[in-house]
Amino acid sequence: FFAGVLLGLAASGCATAPTNPYFASVRSSANVYVAPLRVDVVKVAVLPFKGPTELIGASVSDMVVTEMLKLGRYTLVERSQMAGVLSETELAMAGLSERRAMEVGRMLGADGVVIGTVDEYSMQARGGRTYAVVGLTIRLIQSQTGQILWSADLAKMAEDPNVPLAAHGRAVVHELIAGLFHKLGAQRAPAASSAHLSAP
């Protein structure tokens, strides 16, 4: 009986239980808000982020895609599918408005869209040495209603001046999503049993 119950829970997508070692052991100082709602959001599109440059915005949004896949909670829309909906100008400019993001989400058949801003991505001087500094804000918006289902932000300076900017960026994104992982229990897990990129 109990084995059946556990199997049923696994099939229902309870992948955010603190048994995921990739996130569970991470202490996060991210500022996270999770709306205490009972909603099923399974298919999600991570849109291009607004950043200091197009390359930085695209790079950090790709890092977020990788970490969100490891949450095991969402099915993510392929970037090639988004390119078929977004114009070249929108892909280049990034940082879509919430209204346009919702429209794109509906066109892609996505339950929600993740939009974000890379506030900091640079090397800064401190005590005669330079350190990597990365800061970003992301949020998940329900495509149909525009309601913010969760939001998270984090800005950190690397402790070691020898850490490359890109490596520090990955570490910040990992800590940010780990902070989200620890609080996602406030929302019912979606029905998907595992996260993956949806087929084009």
Q: What is the pLDDT of residue 12?
A: 38
Cβ neighbours of residue 37 closer than 8 Å, sequence gap 6 or more:
147, 149, 187, 188
Cα–Cα distance, 111 to 114 (Å, whole number)? 10
Query: For the whole model, what pTM was predicted?
Result: 0.82
- Residue 118 pLDDT exceeds 80: yes
At 93 the pLDDT is 57
- The predicted pLDDT at position 153 comes to 98
Mean pLDDT estimate for the chain: 84
- Average pLDDT (115-131) is 95
Burial, 25: exposed, middle or buried (Cβ in 10 Å; 0-12, 13-18, 19+)? Answer: exposed
Look-up: residue for tokens 């109990």? 2
Q: Where are the beta strands (DSSP E) in 20-65?
A: 31-34, 43-46
Average pLDDT over residues 106-125: 95
pLDDT score recorded for residue 80: 84
Using DSSP, state whether 134 is helix, strand or coil.
Answer: strand
pLDDT per position as a tens digit, 62-89: 999 999 999 989 999 998 888 888 776 6
pLDDT tens for residues 10-39? 333 344 445 789 999 999 999 999 998 877
pLDDT, residue 90, reads 66
pLDDT at 95 over 80: no
